[in-house]
Structure 1
């Protein structure tokens, strides 16, 4: 690693403006409690656990910026700057848009010019280990323009022709499982590459749900580093049960 890479700064953008309807009615998904603490707080702490991360930009619902800022302040360590901090990691809150792609784009605008590496992390992946975060950052600093953590796919996957909900769907292909990976976050990027992707790829429909996919559309290479089973996405009620079990195991083993 070059001296320039060692001294480059990393920021994380966490889009947390979604409603998370699959978890059922109630607060936005990122604000749902996990072991008594909002998932978003767990996610920010997971990013701040990396010594390489100097800033976390939280993209909140447009009508919930003050609420999210107050929540982050309530869980922050004392003695930080006005924007708040966890130790050496600062955080800011900005309003999001109607789609994830729009929210990430707005979060990128809040990243200072001296930041060279940007991660994008799902607030709904609150338990990603710091080793995974560091591996993504390290790969970007070593020259990759886009990096995703991922796991081999355990199930056989079928490509189907979509049908109405509940109706049988015709299988059209069976991809080779050995070539498939289940992608997680944080996804890491050379800052200029990610900004270019968001400036180039048109926002259509619900927008892009995967920033690495936007970079792929530019023709830039995306590489994979090993993910972690605890970096799963909390999407459905059963995922909350699993996440609570992981936290309970961490408390028992590590005093987390």
Structure 2
């Protein structure tokens, strides 16, 4: 079923091939458990629960493709698994190749496992309203300093104009393909689009969409997951089947 308005097709890409060295786990980070299930499972559940996507494409290490396909829970929305790449940009490019009929593309970090479905819906709604690139953003609460190579402070940017950017980041699919065709790299997909001179719009982010990067983040995520009602994020998944695990 196409959940988009009109004929627009929304495909969510979930890069899940990175190891996440800072987390200190000897497995791809997306397969580290939060609240008894892998981050990847949480991320997929949130996307589907939003009611805003027509398809999900997950990019995992080559050796985990078959295992992931076999263990993914049944879903009302198609979830496809393809081989990712050594770098995040390589994985996203593989996801784009696997979604040739997408009108809009969401790129979502599996490590933002607890992202509320409502945030995902906000990104898609902004795309449908005419934006070509959309990112969730939160105001920066800490004072930010710029420093030089020696560690000396060189300035203090006005934080009122700064935002911390989250995912999913949403794009007109043709625009993101054009950005990737340039062969340049950036810390996020919106950065690639900015290089083309395209305006990137923001929508309100959510504190729950934090990225699980360090062991302390994992502790927080497990604490929050224990307080969360599974019905809030089930969204069409058959949760009676075994969750995704890394062999």
**TM-score by structure 2 length?**
0.89
**1:245 Cα deviation (Å)?**
1.6
Per-residue deviation, residues 109-136 of structure 1 (Å, max 9, x unmatched)? 00032x2110000010011111100000
8 Å contact from structure 2 (residues 52, 120) kept in 1: no
SS in 1 for 2:63: coil
SS in 1 for 2:157: coil
**1:251 Cα deviation (Å)?**
3.2
- Report the aligned-residue RMSD: 1.9
8 Å contact from structure 2 (residues 49, 233) kept in 1: no
**1:209 Cα deviation (Å)?**
2.7
Regions of 4+ moved over 4 Å: 252-256
1:157 and 1:126 map into 2 onto residues whose CA distance is: 26
**1:27 Cα deviation (Å)?**
1.4
Per-residue deviation, residues 38-66 of structure 1 (Å, max 9, x unmatched)? 11000111111122211100000122211
Unaligned runs of 5+ in 2: 235-247
Q: What are the within-5 Å matches in structure 2 for residues 15-54 of structure 1?
A: 15-54=15-54
Q: What are the within-5 Å matches in structure 2 for residues 193-232 of structure 1?
A: 193-202=175-184, 207-232=185-210
Q: Looking at both structures, which has the greater relative contact order when contacts are Cα pairs under 8 Å and sequence separation is at least 6?
A: 2
Q: 2:143 aligns with which of 143, 148, 156?
A: 156
**1:253 Cα deviation (Å)?**
10
**TM-score by structure 1 length?**
0.86
Per-residue deviation, residues 63-96 of structure 1 (Å, max 9, x unmatched)? 2211222231xxx23xxxxxxxx12x11111111
**1:250 Cα deviation (Å)?**
1.8
Aligned residue pairs total 231
1:102 and 1:255 map into 2 onto residues whose CA distance is: 29
2:183 and 2:201 map into 1 onto residues whose CA distance is: 20
SS in 2 for 1:8: coil
